[in-house]
Amino acid sequence: MPPTGVLRAAGSRRTAGALAAALIVTVSALAGCGEGGSGGSADKDTSSSAPPAAVRLPPRHAGFDYQIGGAYPPPKDVRIVSRDRSDSPAPGLYNICYVNAFQAQPQERGSWPADLLLRDAHGQVVIDEDWNEALLDIGTPAKRTRVAERVNQWIDGCAQKGYDAVEPDNYDSYTRSHHLLTASDATAFMSLLSRHAHARHLAIGQKNTADLAGERGRAGLDFAVTEECGQYDECEVYAKAFDDRVVDIEYTDGGLRKALDRWGRRISIVRRDRDVSKPGSSEYVRKTR
């Protein structure tokens, strides 16, 4: 979803072989990290998966609502809510701030320096055709630093508004780069965002990308935001990697049943419509059972 309130339909994208690759994940301890409600650009790896003590992690197995299509009063059972960075957090809840960190929306493409848009051998901008979004060029340390400088300003805005965490989307954009970007590029870029988020006392969530769940420590990630992990039998990957700190959005009744049957007592699960619309819309769907 866009970080500027301009809507597109939600939907998950998965890398091939995600389940097989990620089932060998080993879980790093989250010692010293709390739960609860709102309260440098060097390109190098981080060896610790535990965020600073000042960072609050989302509670496990808590009522969740996904509101990145527009904010509205959360239902009474909700303790965790994710909203677009253009919206304000919900008072008294654990709030996750959505940012589109790895791609540029059509209306924002012109505001990016031309050399930070990924280009193919013919000089053409590489586009995510599903959403008509340009991929950002994170293929070198210097470019990762420059892209991170802009995205980190959005993260600063999330912190200033009082969010507890940030959800950078399109971590898996390297899989749509025609081999111009690699998983290592994505992980290195994410580590820049993670260090900045932690410095602003924000937790940071991995959005989908099950293939990279095993890199959560190097990337500095604290929890997972998944789309249709029940539908695609990926919940175990994230639950193992993130010690059940997983919030999952399903877009079908069948996916919701699958997620609840196996994981309903361990992770946070909600069924939403693919446009993540607001109540009052004919498309609005929200179910938890």
Mean pLDDT by 10 residues, the chain (289 residues): 44 42 37 45 44 85 97 97 98 98 94 97 95 97 98 98 98 97 98 98 97 96 98 97 98 98 97 97 96
Residues 6+ away with beta carbon under 8 Å from 21 = 210, 211, 214
Residues 6+ away with beta carbon under 8 Å from 169 = 1, 98, 99, 100, 101, 102, 103, 207
Quick one: pLDDT at residue 31? 36
Residues 6+ away with beta carbon under 8 Å from 286 = 65, 75, 270, 271, 272, 273, 279
Quick one: pLDDT at residue 135? 98
Instruction: Please give the sequence-ordered ranges of beta strands (E in DSSP) within the chain, or none if there are none.
Output: 34-35, 56-57, 64-67, 80-84, 94-100, 103-104, 127-128, 133-135, 165-169, 203-207, 223-227, 246-250, 268-272, 286-287
Two tokens, residue 171: 């971590």
Quick one: pLDDT at residue 50? 55
Any idea how long the chain is?
289
Quick one: pLDDT at residue 10? 56
Two tokens, residue 11: 């939907």
Quick one: pLDDT at residue 214? 96
Quick one: pLDDT at residue 259? 98
pTM of the model: 0.85
Quick one: pLDDT at residue 74? 97
CA dist 157 and 152 (Å) reads 9
